[in-house]
Amino acid sequence: MRKVSLDRARAGYRVARTILSLDGVVLLSAGTVLTDEMIATLESYNFTEIYIEDDLSRDIKNPEVVREEIVTEVKAKIKNIMTSPSIRISVDGKKILEIVDKLLGNILQSDQIVLNISDIRSIDDYTFSHSVNVCILSLIIGIAMGVKGDNLKDLGTGALLHDVGKVMVSEDILLKPSCLSKNEFEEAKRHTAYGYEILRNSSSINTAVQEIALYHHERLDGSGYPYGLKNSEIPLYARIVAVADVYDALTTDRVYRKKMLPHEVVDYMYSLSNKHFDRSVLDAFTKHVAHFPIGTAVLLNTGEKGLVSRYNPQFPNRPVIRIVMDEAGKMLVNHKEVDLSKRLEYRIIDIWDI
């Protein structure tokens, strides 16, 4: 299994993972052989990628920290909550906690928690997918940092609702395909305060959860908003959600920009370590999130090319690579697997499109 851009998909490719709309409607089932009409349908839904199965990627499986059907179910529930007229006033905290409990229970059942944000999602569904992904990422970071019990549930609830205040901001601003004016940017930034007020009015939502909505755009050097807090003035949970929020946002296609690759975002965030982001949070995050997701096509320093076939949980930036092309550019009949954690002379130097 490997992921390809939809604009590189061709009739005859075999779909590796079922593609669903946010409402749970099956658009294409796993095993379906693509046609031009099917590709056009996916384009009309604003999907940008697809998983395919071919000879190069046969037997490459993507382990799920949270089962795909649960993620789909949760996204649909979040969409219903976020599009309800009452969301502009308050949130039912008990319903949100039920969602967090379901996600958390699935995460804690995983043998090894190395997350590959790998869902195939439409640009149109960004708001709801983003909320769920930020929740999953934040829970994983929290677990790695020793957050437990009800505190972990508070973290998950706040992460799921971190952007709830955006329901008060015009979609013309949120979805504007060009740069925001100064006034538009100031209004967009108010989503933190809007979210805080909504959560203050909500049942079964405590102060720790409310503060995540208010402070998740604060930065350690004081350059964030709304109050320009610094270092430990920013609650730990807000510092955790800040990392999860930026990572998921930058690794997702938006109407106004193309996504960055996971390893590029990790490098970027580390360049802002202890300036924007808490280094201890980043360290916990990068130990449990794949720098090169399974199925990614990579170029090695030897000139050989291959696919990421397995994780190394102890070395997330040095996975196992299935080499499919030699240094001369010839496709190999017999592929070989190279474990970068054991073969230190090998390095990933770039991503390539097959």
* Domain range annotation of the chain: 2-53, 68-286, 297-351
Residue 255 confidence (pLDDT): 66
The amino acid present at 285, given as its one-letter code, is F
Residue pLDDT, tens place only, 179-234: 899 999 999 999 999 999 999 999 999 999 999 999 999 999 999 999 999 999 99
Write down the CATH superfamily of domain 68-286: Hypothetical protein af1432 (1.10.3210.10)
Residue pLDDT, tens place only, 236-282: 999 999 999 999 999 887 766 778 888 899 999 999 999 999 999 99
Residue 106 confidence (pLDDT): 86
CATH 3.30.420.40 at 2-53, yes or no: no
Note the pTM of the prediction, 2 decimals.
Answer: 0.86
Residue 69 confidence (pLDDT): 78
Q: Can 2-53 and 68-286 be said to share one CATH topology?
A: no
Distance CA 156, CA 108 (A): 13
Residue 6 confidence (pLDDT): 86
Distance CA 210, CA 195 (A): 8
Decide if pLDDT at 58 tops 90: no
Residue pLDDT, tens place only, 6-42: 888 899 999 988 887 767 778 888 899 999 999 999 8
| CB neighbours of residue 278 within 10 Å | 23
Q: What token pair was written down for 170?
A: 């015009």
**Residues marked as catalytic:** 166
Only one residue has tokens 């490719």, namely 13
